Structure 1
């Protein structure tokens, strides 16, 4: 379950977004250790072309007077891949979430930071609540090489392919086209996932060396 992620490397991220023709990079919300229920940046094409928008990182909200807040009964920062077919958002409101790293832990212990050394997109879902947007990150099964760090899941990373990015953002019911991507992978754009131990999940204090995952 991805519950903390980074949005760093300003210049690299701007170039990354520009390479896919995504507008609004100046509105990108940067920061390390982004946490659930905070405002984060997502990419949608709901207005016709891909652009950066802001969303609450918690898919289901609840009305409180004139405002919307994260729903207390439905913890929804992640959306499990096994339930995607039952979610209308999977067919109609898919998004991408720019990031540079994320943090996982095993039962809240031994946190580590995962990264590829370059920007990437989490695959996600979004919902609209009046003038607000909310989002979740799609999680897949864990990969054999990462189970010792988090035994249950690995976030879905969008492949670095123009055709995938366009198809994902365009919406539509042809979700079967994404089935091959619902398998956990630890390689992205020719780079292998790396992991580094942390003092705490929300800290930036490292306590060990970088370990490179090897595909097998």
Structure 2
């Protein structure tokens, strides 16, 4: 799963927003530590083709309260890729109608070992990360309040991430303009074209750092470089 985001203001995050033609990049919500139920920035495309940052609650399913909304009791900050094509699942309709991109510098994972949690942060090296996400729009029946919520899609565990997290890996989109365009288009419901994205892929070099706890992020030991096999294969293909 992907349970923490690092969204710092650096040149690679800025460059990715520029590549995606985001027209309000000054509204990005920056923070080194974003966690589920926080407000984060997503990139969405409007019906007229404009790319915008939209503030969204990182918890796809929202519950109506008397005065507003609160996160549903059903965990939904991640949406499993194997549920995307199940008609009654929370992600089925958003996968076809309201996909988004979550831009970050890195992410964090938690692995439970015995009775304790072990935390690692992963920072993209010389890159920013484009996570594949979903969003929903809500309107309160009494107050008229509008809210947008989102989730990050997760794939099965990535082999190179297994030493750090054994349950899942985040969907990371490739640096391919045609795929990004198709992903963001609200008019594109041909989701079969995204089948390859449902396979674990990290796509970047990462610096992996063990930390004491996410809120403090004090380093434990030395960082290590994580160069996933799929990234090496992509580099070889590019050079051929």
Same fold (TM over 0.5): yes
Aligned equivalent of 1:71:
72
CA distance in 1, matches of 2:83, 2:97: 15
Question: Aligned runs of 1:88-107 on 2, under 5 Å?
Answer: 88-107=93-112
With the length of structure 1 as denominator, give the TM-score of the two structures.
0.93
Match of 1:206 in 2: 219
Q: CA deviation at 1:132?
A: 1.1
Counterpart position of 2:120: 112
8 Å CA contact retained: 1:44, 1:96: yes
In structure 1, the residue matched to 2:190 is 174
2:200 counterpart (184, 202, 205): 184
Question: Residues of 2 paired with 1:213 and 1:12: CA distance?
Answer: 18
Partner of 1:215: 228
Please say if residues 172 and 202 of structure 2, whose CA atoms lie closer than 8 Å, have aligned partners that are also in contact: no
1:162 aligns with: 177
Q: Decide which structure has the larger Cα Rg and report it.
A: 2
Deviations 1:36-92 (A, max 9, x none): 1111000111343211010000000011123111112x1100000000112111000
Counterpart residue number, 1:197: 210
Task: Tell me whether 1:125 sits opposite 2:134 in the alignment.
Answer: yes
Which digits, 9 at most, give the CA deviation of each residue in 1:165-200, with x for residues without a partner? 110010332111111121112333xxx233111111
Give the 3-state SS of the residue equivalent to 2:85 in structure 1: helix
How far apart, CA to CA, are the structure 1 residues paired with 2:189 and 2:9? Answer: 35
Q: Which residue of 1 aligns with 2:142?
A: none
Q: Distance in 1 between matches of 2:79 and 2:105?
A: 20
The residue number in structure 2 matching 1:141 is 156
Whole-Å Cα distance in 1 between the matches of residues 47 and 222 of structure 2? Answer: 44
Does the aligned pair in 2 maintain the 1:104–1:149 contact within 8 Å?
Answer: yes
Where 2:160 maps in the other structure, the secondary structure is coil
- Return closer, same or farther for 1:214/1:99 CA change in 2, 3 Å cut-off: closer
Indicate if the aligned counterparts of 1:198 and 1:205 stay in contact, CA closer than 8 A.
yes
Moved over 3 A (4+): none
Q: Which runs of 5+ in 1 are unaligned?
A: none
Whether contact under 8 Å (1:104, 1:201) holds in the other structure is: no
In structure 1, the partner of 2:5 is 5
Counterpart of 1:80?
Answer: 80
* Unaligned residue ranges in structure 2 (runs of 5+): 87-91, 140-145, 230-240
Distance in structure 2 (CA, Å) of the matches to 1:10 and 1:64:
38
Post-superposition shift, 1:15? 2.6
Q: Is the 8 A contact 1:196 1:211 kept in 2?
A: yes
CA distance in 1 between counterparts of 2:203 and 2:25 reads 26
SS of structure 2 residue aligned to 1:151: coil
